[in-house]
Amino acid sequence: MSAPLERIGVLGGTFDPIHHGHLAAASEVCAALDLDRMLLVPTNVQPFKTDVTSAPAHHRLEMCRLAVKGDERFGVSAVDVDRGGVTYTVDTLRDLGREYPDAQLYFVTGADALERFSQWRDAHVLSTLATFVGVTRPGHSLGQSDTPHSLVEVPALAVSSTDVRRRVGAGAPIRYLVPRAVADYIAQHDLYSGGSDE
C-alpha cells in the first residue's frame, strides 16, 4: 500500500503586511481539510496591483517568516519572489508541484480574490494543478463561481493589509491586528509611514 499523499495548503498573497486575517484563514483551512501543512507564498508583483506601491519583496517575505515562527504547520515559500516578475498562480502551482511531486496541493483564496478567478492567467488549467479552496472574508460574499473548490468558513476578522498600512500612516495602533514580531519589524524598518527604508 502506498503512503497517503502529503496534503499541502498554499496561501498566496501580497502580504503587505501579513496580518491575523491571513493566519486565521490558514489555520482554519488546515484544520477543516486536515492538511499536513500550509505554505504562505508572497507574490513578487501582483497582476492586479501593478500600480500600487508595496513594500519590497524581501520585507514582505521576512514578515511572513516572523509571523509563522512557532507554528509548525506553517511555512513560507519564496518561489514567487525568486522567480521574479509578475506573479501568476499558474506558475506558483507548477513550481510547487515540481518541488513537492508527491503532494496534493490546496490553493486557498479569500472571497474577494475568487470573484476575479476567471481573469486569472490560464484559469482553465489551474484546477488540474491544485484543489481550490475558497474562504469567507468579511465584506465579500462567496457567490456563484465556475471553479471547483471547497468552501471553508473562517472566523470573521475584518482586517486587511490596506487598513494596516493606512493605520501605520496615520499613527493608529496595529498591535493585535498583526503578530507582535511583525509590528516590531514594521516600526524598526519604518515601513508604511512614508519613511525611506524601503
Tell me if 92 contacts ligand ATP by CB under 6 A: no
Among 149, 161, 185, 192, binds ligand ATP (CB under 6 A): 161
Nearer to ligand ATP, 21 or 179 (CB): 21
Residues contacting residue 119 through CB under 8 Å, at least 6 positions apart: none
Q: Which of residues 1-20 bind ligand ATP (CB under 6 A)?
A: 13-16
Nearer to ligand ATP, 27 or 160 (CB): 160
Least distance between ligand ATP and beta carbon 196 (Å): 21
Cα separation, 66 vs 26, whole angstroms? 15
Binding span for ligand ATP by CB under 6 A among 1-9, 68-76, 151-159, 178-186: 151-159
Cα separation, 87 vs 10, whole angstroms? 14
Nearer to ligand ATP, 28 or 146 (CB): 28
Tell me if 179 contacts ligand ATP by CB under 6 A: no
Cα separation, 55 vs 1, whole angstroms? 48
Closest CA to 135 of 106, 99, 173, 109: 109
The DSSP letter of residue 48 is: G
Helix axes 180-188, 57-68, angle to 10 degrees: 150
Closest CA to 72 of 15, 25, 27, 107: 27
Q: Which of residues 27-66 bind ligand ATP (CB under 6 A)?
A: none
Please give the residue ranges that form the binding site for ligand ATP (CB under 6 A): 13-16, 21-22, 25, 109-110, 112-113, 135, 137, 154, 157, 159-162
